[in-house]
Structure 1
Amino acid sequence: MIKSAENIIVGISIGDLNGIGSEVVLKTFEDSRMLELCTPVIFANVKILSFLKKNFTSTVLMHGIDRLDQITPGKVNVFNLWKEGLDVNAGVNDAKIGEYAIKSFVAATAALKEGVIDVLVTAPINKYNIQSEDFKFPGHTDYLDQELEGNALMMMVQDNLRVGLLTDHIPLSEVASHLTEDLIKKKIETVRKSLIQDFSINKPRIAVLGLNPHCGDGGVIGKEDDEILKPVIKKLFEKGTLVFGPFAADGFFGSNQYDKYDAVIATYHDQGLIPFKTLSFGKGVNYTAGLDKIRTSPDHGTAYDIAGKDEADFGSFKEAVYLAIDIYRSRNLYVEISAKPLKIKEKQL
């Protein structure tokens, strides 16, 4: 059964407390109508958030809880994950703050796995200061891929523009060696399934961008497009997947070709994210597709340069909350419909 709106519990990991995470989170819930859409639970400490709130314009009322069974609909719940004070300094890269960012994220992920929260929205972290003996992941996505069932895929979303990645946080020099037939098949299938169950698109059309300039120009500028990408795309298309390409990446977005497809798959991080962020104007959302649970995040980082200055735009974080709720509803509706037997009326004689 699909939950009523206010009973959808949105868990929020607070991210780097020296960045703009707390500002965009609290500003998102300034509008009381948000509490008609969901029940937020912030994994942090209510005293610290009350202190940080003084650095930016916010009148949001927070409801501190010490146990997750105390979550109250209609309130901005803050789960007091820790009791001790922290030395918080806006704009400073601090390993101790990174430690607490991961403490929040790991606890929120555990709550997501256990079904205590329905979806997870993550505020920005600093990928450098989160590294430790206990946490050796490039970012959120890699940890979620380990902890949750499925195959994680980074997908950027803004309205009908969806950009997925074959490879994400790896050095550019290693991209070509990662492009195997198995990886390409797996990622395309992950995008296809996500478009169906998470975005309610029955017959999704998917475009794949080439790795090399001009898709290699027949092998003159690289052979990966002809020898790896094209054969896999052809095989999948022949089996019924509406996947097309590879397309030369340089003119694909500028010529509005992306409008013809339900999703675009880029071969590496910047190939997809530069045009996406150019087109999305700060309203984009990072969605981790392919997992059995739902996680979204804003499409920006910690923004140390404006932290504590009351200048942060919370639009992307708000969109991340909206998208998480929409996907939760779409996915549950998909499961509900799939579980119903198909009834075929007998032809009247």
Structure 2
Amino acid sequence: MTKQAENVIVGISIGDLNGIGTEVLLKTFEDARMLEFCTPVIFGNFKVLSFIKKTFQLTCNLHGIDTLEQLVIGKINVLNIWKEGVNVDFGKNDETVGKYAIKSFTEAVAALKDNKIDVLVTAPINKYNIQSEDFKFPGHTDYLDQELEGDALMFMVQGDLRVGLLTDHIPVNEVSSHLTEELIRKKILTINTSLKKDFKINKPKIAVLGVNPHSGDNGVIGKEDDVVVKPALKKLFEEGVMVFGPYSADSFFGSGQYEKYDAVIAAYHDQGLIPFKTLSFGNGVNYTAGLEGIRTSPDHGTGYDIAGKGVADNNSFKEAVYLAIDVYHSRQEYAELTKNPLKIREKQEESKKYS
């Protein structure tokens, strides 16, 4: 395998075969221009992907390989990680299909760890049918946190709109018990570093949303914002992190306040994702910040209700590929800059001119 300088190797896990994941990924690479700057390698099975391609009457040319050493730059490579046939039944929840989704994902993560692929893009899984004795994780992010160095953080991205979470896939009634000054500090520092390293923002400005309605109204509607959140933000600000809040979440997005910041951190899943998806649905990307490896995914699920109908929109998946590649190049540039502190200073001075 001879890699061209600008051609990024994009590993792709297939997700739930009965959902829309394989449809949107194949539609993405129908555009031959994608292959000019990246080379996909789909962790799955050539026969299955060929069947799905034929089902949707797609014209992209698939190239089957049995090892990553056989990968061909500029082709849509399908790495055969199993040989047996799989029954694809669009829209059906199937435990067997769930096992293949996880096999694809874990093999792709292993390749990412071994630097055999540059970035990873994951198609949607069904969090219910993936559970087994060998895989007991709520989803992709928790497994990545175990396997890759760093601290995983769900970071939703669409252009300049970036929303991170203090807590993600936990019940609402457990949110308060999970929030500590230590957790808040860790998450904010992770996002601050990601904005610099992955998004080329030299002095990030970060907004934090309050846990309670009206950020607790000085303790009238809950004490978490005053007792836990504010002290954590104060200490970080004193250390030079440009973090602000907590802001009342109900009007923050509607008033356009989010546009003043490089990232917004929500206290829990729906507080952040409802406004994010309202503003960007179909174009957003789920990026796992804070890890050594780069992983993105589309901002939608398996789409069982439209699976097999050929109507799934691939824009979010395409944006996930674009973001993974952008972050890859940003990290390369950041690594070069950190070798030369003078270059960093020059960048900071340059950014001041436009701030």
TM over 0.5: yes
Q: Are 1:5 and 2:6 counterparts?
A: yes
Q: What CA distance in whole angstroms lies between the structure 1 residues aligned with 2:275 and 2:236?
A: 26
Q: Contact 1:91–1:306 (CA<8 Å) still a contact in 2? A: yes
1:69-218 superposed matches below 5 A:
69-218=69-218
Q: C-alpha offsets along residues 223-252 of structure 1, whole Å, 9 cap, x if unaligned? A: 000100011101111111000000000000
1:347 corresponds in structure 2 to none
- SS of equivalent residue, structure 2 residue 57: coil
Q: Are 1:230 and 2:230 counterparts?
A: yes
Q: Give 1:135's aligned amino acid.
A: F
Quote how far apart the aligned CAs of 1:30 are: 0.2
Q: What CA distance in whole angstroms lies between the structure 2 residues aligned with 1:62 and 1:15?
A: 18
Q: C-alpha offsets along residues 164-209 of structure 1, whole Å, 9 cap, x if unaligned? A: 0000001111000000111000000000000000000000000000
Q: What CA distance in whole angstroms lies between the structure 2 residues aligned with 1:133 and 1:168?
A: 23
Quote how far apart the aligned CAs of 1:342 are: 3.3
Q: C-alpha offsets along residues 47-66 of structure 1, whole Å, 9 cap, x if unaligned? A: 00111122213111100000
Quote how far apart the aligned CAs of 1:88 are: 1.1
Q: Contact 1:57–1:310 (CA<8 Å) still a contact in 2? A: no
Q: Give 1:253's aligned amino acid.
A: F
1:264-275 superposed matches below 5 A:
264-275=264-275
Q: C-alpha offsets along residues 269-289 of structure 1, whole Å, 9 cap, x if unaligned? A: 000000000000310000000
Q: Give 1:285's aligned amino acid.
A: V
Q: What CA distance in whole angstroms lies between the structure 2 residues aligned with 1:149 and 1:234?
A: 28
Q: CA RMSD in A?
A: 1.2
Quote how far apart the aligned CAs of 1:87 are: 1.2
Q: Contact 1:124–1:301 (CA<8 Å) still a contact in 2? A: yes
**Structure 2 residue runs without a partner (length 5+):** 346-355
1:281 corresponds in structure 2 to 281
Q: C-alpha offsets along residues 273-306 of structure 1, whole Å, 9 cap, x if unaligned? A: 0000000031000000000010000000000010
Q: What CA distance in whole angstroms lies between the structure 1 residues aligned with 2:26 and 2:142?
A: 27
Q: Which runs of 4+ in 1 moved over 3 A?
A: 341-344
Q: C-alpha offsets along residues 20-42 of structure 1, whole Å, 9 cap, x if unaligned? A: 01100100000000001101000
Quote how far apart the aligned CAs of 1:341 are: 5.4
2:240 corresponds in structure 1 to 240
Q: What CA distance in whole angstroms lies between the structure 1 residues aligned with 2:282 and 2:213?
A: 28
Q: What CA distance in whole angstroms lies between the structure 2 residues aligned with 1:77 and 1:36?
A: 14
Quote how far apart the aligned CAs of 1:337 are: 1.2
Q: Give 2:72's aligned amino acid.
A: T
Q: What CA distance in whole angstroms lies between the structure 1 residues aligned with 2:342 and 2:233?
A: 32
Q: What CA distance in whole angstroms lies between the structure 2 residues aligned with 1:16 and 1:312?
A: 14
Q: C-alpha offsets along residues 138-168 of structure 1, whole Å, 9 cap, x if unaligned? A: 0000000000000000000000000000000
Q: Give 2:239's aligned amino acid.
A: K
Q: Contact 1:28–1:317 (CA<8 Å) still a contact in 2? A: yes
TM-score of the superposed pair, with normalisation by structure 1:
0.96
- SS of equivalent residue, structure 1 residue 141: helix
TM-score of the superposed pair, with normalisation by structure 2:
0.95
Q: Contact 2:157–2:163 (CA<8 Å) still a contact in 1? A: yes
From the superposition, tell whether residues 259 and 3 of structure 1 become closer, same or farther in structure 2 (CA, over 3 Å).
farther
1:304-315 superposed matches below 5 A:
304-315=304-315
Q: C-alpha offsets along residues 54-82 of structure 1, whole Å, 9 cap, x if unaligned? A: 22131111000001101101100000010
**Structure 1 residue runs without a partner (length 5+):** 345-349
Q: Are 1:27 and 2:59 counterparts?
A: no
Q: What CA distance in whole angstroms lies between the structure 2 residues aligned with 1:316 and 1:19?
A: 15
- SS of equivalent residue, structure 1 residue 125: coil
Q: Contact 1:216–1:224 (CA<8 Å) still a contact in 2? A: yes
Identity %: 72
Q: What CA distance in whole angstroms lies between the structure 2 residues aligned with 1:335 and 1:101?
A: 34
Q: Indicate the larger mover: 40-49 or 335-344.
A: 335-344
1:289-328 superposed matches below 5 A:
289-328=289-328
Q: Give 2:5's aligned amino acid.
A: S
1:258 corresponds in structure 2 to 258
- SS of equivalent residue, structure 1 residue 39: strand
Q: What CA distance in whole angstroms lies between the structure 2 residues aligned with 1:252 and 1:221?
A: 18
Q: Give 1:128's aligned amino acid.
A: Y
Q: What CA distance in whole angstroms lies between the structure 1 residues aligned with 2:76 and 2:273?
A: 32
